[in-house]
Amino acid sequence: MTTPALEVRQLRVVRRHQEILASLDFGVDTGQLVGLLGPSGSGKTTLMRALLGVQTITSGHALVLGERVGSPGLRRRVGYMAQASAIYLDLRVRENLEYFAGVLGVGRDRVEHVLDVVDLRRHSEHLVSSLSGGERSRVSLAVALLGSPEVLILDEPTVGLDPVLRQDLWRTFVELTAQGTTLLVSSHVMDEAQRCERLLLLREGRLLFDDTPGELLERTKRERYDDAFVTLINEAS
């Protein structure tokens, strides 16, 4: 049996006397493209940060690639893109990528490769501060891709992107899974749900749904993901 890419058992996170995640249980197999959906404040970012090891876990446990989250060995194997762009505004795009590549110990060929993946080659010599919000989040995604991570955790990577680019990025995500990368992607755009093999729906720190997008439509008897999502949320409350 192969080790699952993500394994979450009775994960609970309490922050400032408030329960953010309540006893989550799920596993994700290698190479899956999993969408993490949920209304704002449902705990999506906290779950992602917990999987990354930057959020203290109150009880339960979470393993990434069979290792305890936050263990030093995972730092090269997991790529993360936060909601904040987390890049240096006062550096050129290429300078940002070269610095993070250096920290990861990967070569310049990776810098060139990710520039093409996120389609930023013509902006590579521009200062990040001169880029638009969508372009900045592509730089951030490029940094997450630099180390060819086995697991990619992306917090709302398509925010502020136009539909064409959004489609390109989802195509990239699918390509990455074909190469064996496991992706956990959060989004609040429900249409993006159909591109995932599997959906995790969070509400108030609990898993409301964990199945395929098709099953979501079937169970709620809706045709659009937006409606299905609202139906599910309303049923639960």
Partner 1 sequence: MSLRRTLLTMGRIVRQLRHDPRTIALLLVVPSALMGLLAWSLVNRPGNFDSLGPRLLGVFPLTMMFLVTSVTTLRERSQGTLERLLTLPLAKAEFILGYAGAFAAVALVQSALVSTLSYTWFGLAHQGVPWRISLVALSAGLLGTAFGLALSALATTEFQAVQFMPAFILPQLLLCGLMVPLDQLPTALRYVADVLPMTAAVHAITPALSTSYYVAQFAIMFAYIGVALAVGSTTLRRRTR
Residues at the site binding partner 1, with contacts judged by CB under 8 A: 15-16, 52-56, 70, 72, 75-76, 78, 80, 82, 84-92, 95, 99-100, 102-105, 127, 143, 147
State the minimum distance, in angstroms, from the CB of residue 190 to partner 1.
26
Q: How far is the CB of 100 from partner 1 (least distance, A)?
A: 7
Torsion of CA 206, 64, 56, 147, to 10 degrees: -120
Nearer to partner 1 among residue 51 and residue 196 (C-beta): 51
The H or E element spanning position 51 is: helix 44-52
Long-range contacts of residues 47-50, Cβ cutoff 8 Å, at least 24 apart: 47/11, 47/21, 47/202, 48/80, 48/153, 48/155, 48/184, 48/186, 50/11, 50/13, 50/21
Tokens found for residue 167: 């489609």
Smallest distance, partner 1 to C-beta of residue 57, A: 9
Least separation in angstroms between CB 170 and partner 1: 23
Residue whose CB is less far from partner 1, 3 or 56? 56
Nearest to 31 by CA among 195, 214, 197: 197
